[in-house]
Chains A and B, each alone.
Chain A
Amino acid sequence: MWRKLYSLSSNLSSNLALSLGSNHFELFGLSPKFNIELATLESNFRKIQSESHPDRFVSASSAEKLQSMQLATHANEAYQILKNPANRAKYLLELQGIEAISETNTAMPLDFLMQQMEWRESLEDAKAAKDINALENLLREMQQEAKLLQSEIAVLIDQKQDYTSATDATRKLIFINKVVVDINKAIEQLEANL
Chain B
Amino acid sequence: MAYSDKVLDHYENPRNVGTLDKNDPNVGTGMVGAPACGDVMKLMIKVNDAGIIEDAKFKTYGCGSAIASSSLVTEWLKGKTIDEAYAIKNSAIAEELALPPVKIHCSVLAEDAIKAAVADIKAKQLAKVSA
Contacts and interface: CB of A to CB of B under 8 A. Distances in A.
A156 B7 CA distance: 41
A178 B37 contact: yes
A108 to B, nearest CB: 4
Given A103-B105, A110-B31, A116 B36 contact: no
Nearest to A177: B38
A116 B109 CA distance: 16
A149 B66 CA distance: 27
B1 to A, nearest CB: 17
B14 interface: no
Nearest to B31: A113
Interface of A: 100-101, 103-104, 106-108, 110, 112-114, 116-117, 120, 171-172, 174-175, 177-179
23 contacts: A101-B35, A106-B32, A106-B112, A106-B113, A108-B33, A108-B35, A112-B33, A113-B31, A113-B32, A113-B42, A114-B31, A116-B40, A116-B61, A117-B40, A117-B42, A117-B59, A117-B61, A120-B61, A171-B35, A174-B38, A175-B40, A178-B37, A179-B38
